[in-house]
Structures are given as structure tokens and as C-alpha cells.
Chains A and B, each alone.
Chain A
């Protein structure tokens, strides 16, 4: 396989031309957005096959983002878990500290190729907002980031980072004042300013072509990991583990392994205060199929079809929907989705920090927690690759607050 080729939908046949993954996905938006989505799709289909564009993207991923990110064997954590070898794909070492930059570099270049002068983004934890503001600064574009007012409070340092990068951070006070409301508001901005504005959506959710396009920009993670495993470990991992909010880091890792039947996929959702409560954000584990943000997918709603408020200690997982391709992976049985509670994630945050000197983002800590549980059930000659999707500097205030410590 050509290392730099984007994994095209044709390889697995999905999504179809209307953006469907089986019965999921699609383009459930008002007519007011259709023109913009068609323009975006046309541009994406053109540039993903354009050698010059893809060459520029590869160069940026190498020199600006710092790719490839290494695979790291977590020896002490493996001993602690007591079972399979735990390896990390170190996306936390990327510029801006998370996998999010892979997608924003790609969409930023696409925005420029389309002649747009302004980019907008939604953000939950702030990682995607920072990654978007970073790319906008580099490309000399105006940038506005929509962020739920509750998340602005939880992620103050990332808010300041975005401002330092020249972005305008717009707090969103509607609804649950978190990621889903930021996404609504970004869409409203886009339909209003469609002529000069490009919407950098941060995850594999939303209307077609976003789920496929964001997946393809993140698939560099899985492509590298697959080659590195074969080169360094001499075999593919037995399991891949990644956290799932909207699901972009998970799909980025899973996608290039989709035909490797020996590799099991585990997506880890935020079980918050427990799946038996309503205070979680586990749409695949505990939700049902509906329509949100332009896609048919699993979501969390009440019996009247109103979208429910969700809860997670990690702002980046605090989302009531999920990317439609994950819904398809769940229903076909190709991937398994599990929940990790706030408490388990915080424990894993501390364990990884103390045992390996790696401080993970709270989102990522969910994947680490499940990786350890899974390892304990597996043999020492087996291996698990966990996507270490982001670093935890942004979360130290939240961790301190949860521990009752005043900084």
C-alpha cells in the first residue's frame, strides 16, 4: 500500500455517494446548507486525488505536525495490568498535543485551495479549536471558534491558547452549553457566511462528506501504526483501543486495519457516573438510532426525541451523538464499544502519569483504562495498541478539582 495515499472510500465501499454507511450517515440538513456541502464535497473529491495537494499535506504532516508519531511500549503499565503487552500510538506528541491537528492541517489546506479566507470550528475540550486556530494562524486566515459556555469554563487554558493564536472564541450559551451546541452554532455561522467561510468540523460526525473526509485525514494514524507494528514488533496488534466522543481518533486508527480480521477494535465511550444513570455520554453503548447534526446515527435522546444533556469528566467526549461509521461498525459487529466511568478514567490518568511519565488527556485516559482491563484478560504474548490521542496538560485544573485540590 502506498504510504501516502489517502484510504479512499472505495477501498471498503463506504460511504456510498449520498454518504451512507449502511443505514447510517447521510446528509440530514436544511436546504440552506446543501449548497455549501456540495461545494465542499466537490472540492474534496478533486483534491484528494491531486498529487500536488496531497504532497503538500504530507510535507505539512512531517514538518509542521512532526509525523510520524512513534509507537511506545508501556512496560511498567503492562506489568501493572498483568497480561497482554500495551503499546501506545503517541499522537500526544504531535504539534498542539493531540490527533486533532492531522485533520485541521488537511481541512485548512482544502480551505485555502477553495479560496476561502475565513475558517470556523466547534470545539469541546478545546483541542480541535486550538488545532484549527493554529492552522489558521499559519495560513493567515481569520478564525472563529464556537465553544459551549460550560466548556469555556472547564478548559480555560485552551481558550487562552486560541486567543493567543489570534482566533476569536465565541461562547455558546444555548442548550446544554457544550459541544453539541457549539456545533449547531458553527453550522449557523456557516450558512450565513458561506461565500468566504470554510467550516473545519473536528470529528467524524455531521453531514456527508465530513464523516468520510475527517476519517481520511486522520487515517494517517492507522497507516503509520500498521507499518510501525510490522516493522518494530513484527506482527499486527491483537486489539486496537481508542476513546470515542465523535470518534475521529478511533476511526483514524481503526480504518487502515479494517481488512485485518485478526485485529479486534474497541471503542471506549464516556460512561460518566455510570451507564445505569443518565449522566454519561455513551451513545453507542446506551443510545438508539436517530438523526442529529446531519447524520443518522446512535444518539442519546428522551422518549420525545429531544436530545439529552450528557455528562463526562472529559469535555471532548461530552457529546450525545457519534460518527455514523461507528454506528455501522457496531451494527456489523466489526467493532465493540464499551464504557469507562469518570472514576476509572481518572485512575488511569494517574496510573499512566506515575508509571510511564506520560500525562494523558482525560479523553485518552478512557482508552488507557479500558486497555488495562483488556490486557488483564489477554495473554502476555498478545499485544494491544492504544491510541494515545492527546496529552493532559489542558486537564490538570479539572483533575485537581475532581481531587478537591485548589491550585
Chain B
């Protein structure tokens, strides 16, 4: 079973929402990435989204742009990202890892090779930011052949017909973008999420994770009340950007992630949803 599916099944059983931190591979220092990944898991992460650095991250805000630039300046490559995942897997065979990146570096490697070697490194899904469902036939077939998922984005502006098409191919989880904007934007309106989440739930059982603009524990807890997963990226990357050495980075990760985990788990007012067992006494 794909690790993402196994993890969300387990989360549903325990009626918890998944915590999905995003970091950019190689940021702030390529030598630290694997240790940071382990620290994330030890602090309560359920799934790790690992960013593949790219020079032109059109959907990302300034924080992730800067993180990508720093990683690239230190010579990060696609092969090194995979080597990091493989090293992470030696100590952690269970935590799912999703690579989030853009088309061109994967195409330059060759999509077939890129998917095959990702699977061998222990990657469980790819989120190719600039590969919409219309252009996904090739990656989808390759991913399916390797027991991996293509993680699809859904946006507040996604129209119903597209949402249906998207839901029909989505695997692992659907990454619902919480707002109109780029990663790291400021204005998250939690009340506006219920409608779009409901519409996706009508179409698919696939778990729904919400991201873009979630930066602290209270927001994460509120989102955990209505979604299956909470993605936190830019806020965490900002914290890492300040770290001067690996022990600092590991300590900063713990200090940032643990309160979020706690707040999410304390929020037990989970509504009953089609994809989730009914809530008992809470």
C-alpha cells in the first residue's frame, strides 16, 4: 500500500488530521535537510512535502522563492533531492514523502526516469505545480505504474467541471489552496473553506489537505477541524531561513511544529464527513 494512503487511513481511524510541513530541499543548507526531515517527524509531522528547487517558482511567494534561490546557489540538483529522500528512508520507512516541484527540472531529467528513480528513492507522490490535469496523462500513467500518486491542487477559483475532472484522477490527497494568491500569502479566511471542502467531499473520498497562508497553531487547529490535513510551508521555511547551524535548525523545527501538533490534536470538534468515520464522544 502506498504510504500516503496508509497514513491517511490511520489518521482517519484515530480521527486526527494530518500535519504536513513543507520544506525546500537544500534550504538553508543541503547537509541539514535529512536531519530536519527527521526532526519534523519527531515533532509530529504525518507527511513531509519536500520542495524541489526551481529557478522560476511562479506559484510561490517571496519566502519560497528565496529558499529555492538559496538551495540552488548551493548547487542543489534533482539527483541530490532523491539522495536525501533515500537517506531519510533508511531511518524512517513509514512517513510518506511528497516531492513538490515544477515541470522543467523533471522534464529535463525525463519524466519516465524521474518517476522511476523517485519511487526507488522512497517518494510516495509528486505534486507537479505547473502540470494541470489536462497535461497529466503521461505523469499519471508513470506514477500509477510505480504505486505513486500525483497530488492535485484545487483552488478557490476552480470551477465545478474542473473540480470533477480533478477529483476523478486525484490520488493520495487533494491539496486545497485556501486563498487566491501565492504560497505564504497573509489573509487566510477559515470560514470560506467549508464550502469548497464540502464540494470536493461530494465528489471524492480522497482526503483533503488545506494549505497556503496557514502560519500558526490556532489557524492550523481550526483547519484541522474541517479538513483531513494541514499544510504549513512558508512560515516554517521562514523560521529555517534564520538558523545558523543544524542544532539551531532542529531546535527551531521542534519549537515551531510541536505547538501546532498539540493545537490540532486538541481540536476534537471534527464534523462527520463522508470520508471520515462519525465522531463519537469528544
| A interface residue numbers (CB < 8 A to B) | 18, 26-36, 38, 174-175, 180-181, 184, 187-188, 191-195, 290-294, 299, 301, 303-307
Contact = CB atoms under 8 A, between A and B. Distances in A.
Contacts of A191: 59, 180-182
Q: Which 8 A-B pairs have the closest CB atoms?
A: A35-B157, A305-B108, A305-B105, A30-B59, A31-B153, A291-B103, A192-B181, A306-B55
Interface string B259-279: 000000000000000000000
Contacts, number: 119
Contact of B155 (A32, A180, A306): A32
A290 B157 contact: no
A43 B103 CA distance: 28
B225 to A, nearest CB: 24
Given A34-B162, A188-B61, A192-B182, A28 B103 contact: yes
A27 B133 CA distance: 10
Given A31-B155, A192-B181, A192-B185, A26 B58 contact: no
Nearest to B176: A31
A43 to B, nearest CB: 14
A192 B185 CA distance: 9
Per DSSP, chain A at the interface is: mixed
Interface stretch (B90-98, B124-132, B195-203): B124-132
Contacts of B57: 184
15 contacts: A28-B130, A28-B132, A29-B58, A30-B129, A31-B158, A34-B162, A35-B159, A175-B69, A191-B59, A193-B180, A290-B103, A290-B107, A290-B108, A293-B56, A304-B108
B104 A36 contact: no
Nearest to A290: B104
Contacts of A292: 56, 104
Interface string B117-154: 00000000000011110110000000000000000111
On chain B, which size bracket covers the interface?
Answer: 35 or more
A287 to B, nearest CB: 12
Nearest to A306: B55
Contact of B180 (A32, A293, A304): A32
A329 to B, nearest CB: 21
B157 A293 contact: no
A294 B103 CA distance: 10
B135 to A, nearest CB: 6
B183 to A, nearest CB: 10
A194 B155 CA distance: 12
B153 A32 contact: yes
A97 to B, nearest CB: 30
A33 B132 CA distance: 10
Contacts of A174: 62, 65, 69
A305 B102 CA distance: 10
Contacts of A304: 77-78, 105, 108
Nearest to A289: B107
Contact of B54 (A28, A194, A306): A306
A307 B130 CA distance: 15
Nearest to A184: B58
B267 to A, nearest CB: 27
Contacts of A30: 58-59, 129-130, 132, 153, 155
B10 interface: no
Contacts of A187: 58
Contacts of A34: 132, 155, 157-158, 162
B65 A305 contact: no
